[in-house]
Structure 1
């Protein structure tokens, strides 16, 4: 099978579950163009996994961001690549700091999404690990200017399905990206809604 994660994924998954709870899990097959498949397979850092950060501000709302090169109005949850063999919890804390400069407390292991990007019989497997982090203070800004973050906004947990829908509605060169990004937003929305209901 082409594009499997092999030993390029994170370490410390069992420890993360022990410390922060058992996550919801999803598998998704996403049909993409050849160009999209090639892009993900040939990422410079060889990443096969990322952290998705549900940063809860002190007002209870969740942080979204956009980048200078995104389509106008496209916002999404914060994400960051996991280095091969990197500890999962450390990756979440590192990426949270790089993208917000906030003091963060990791509270919950929310979900795991295993995405299979497929085109004409070829595939690339990419895993997203979702964590909820609580804002403990600080000034919101990107610590790593190379991230290209150009703006933030805050939404309620109940608004995340609409964020997912907007991502799914992107067209042209951004359609595959939007479909991929929407999956983790839907899982985040379900997990947060389930916690509220419980």
Structure 2
């Protein structure tokens, strides 16, 4: 991945997760998954963002993410997950962040990893394929993404949203450092 998409900036974040959030993470780890692949998908001058049913109509939107299935390459997983969540076909452009997260739960800490990419659309039509998981898909400018959605995430009390806000800020800060 690094030879093809560049060396990512390494980051670390720790957050206290609510019980229901911890249970969701534990469901993933019980299946052997301790990671997500997050893609900031460029669509023209904007980025594609999602909203899930759990926070529908809240004003919170974030970059889409998902995990690799057993035996699936990270590149194939990113393309599959982004299509399921956004209806779009993508091309990975740059490996931007390799982020470690300490998911702090009442009964211990779960170590999680997010692999964060800059990508672009290559086809498809915007709209969730997986409507069970995804409530809404739209585009936002960088400025919009760094505005109200992040303020709402930070104020939510959810550890997962605090982490997603951190990833969004870190992503754009590193893009600036890279001159992209």
TM-score (norm 1): 0.78
Three-state SS of the structure 1 residue aligned to 2:124 is: coil
Correspondence for 1:69 = 54
Correspondence for 1:7 = none
Correspondence for 1:153 = 139
Q: Distance in 1 between matches of 2:104 and 2:88?
A: 37
Name stretches of at least 5 consecutive residues in structure 1 with no aligned partner: 1-15
Q: Distance in 2 between matches of 1:159 and 1:114?
A: 26
Q: Deviations over 1:45-69 (max 9, x none)?
A: 44211111110002x2111111233
Cα drift, residue 87 of structure 1: 1.5
Cα 1:42–1:137 shift into 2, 3 Å: closer
| Matching of residue 137 in structure 1 with residue 123 in structure 2 | yes
1:33-112 → structure 2 map (5 Å cutoff): 33-43=18-28, 45-58=31-44, 60-71=45-56, 72-112=58-98
Cα drift, residue 125 of structure 1: 0.9
Q: Distance in 2 between matches of 1:69 and 1:30?
A: 19
Correspondence for 1:177 = 160
Cα drift, residue 86 of structure 1: 3.0
Q: State the superposition RMSD in angstroms.
A: 2.2
Q: Distance in 1 between matches of 2:52 and 2:19?
A: 24
Name stretches of at least 5 consecutive residues in structure 2 with no aligned partner: none
List structure 1 segments (4+ residues) > 6 angstroms apart after TM superposition.
none
Cα 1:176–1:67 shift into 2, 3 Å: same
Higher deviation after alignment, 137-146 or 126-135: 137-146
Correspondence for 1:114 = 100
**Number of residue pairs aligned between Structure 1 and Structure 2:** 177
- Higher fraction of strand: 2
Q: Does the 8 A contact of 1:92 with 1:131 survive in 2?
A: no
Q: Distance in 2 between matches of 1:95 and 1:39?
A: 18
Q: Distance in 1 between matches of 2:27 and 2:75?
A: 25
Q: Deviations over 1:123-181 (max 9, x none)?
A: 1011111111111233112223332332323222x44433433311114xxx2231132
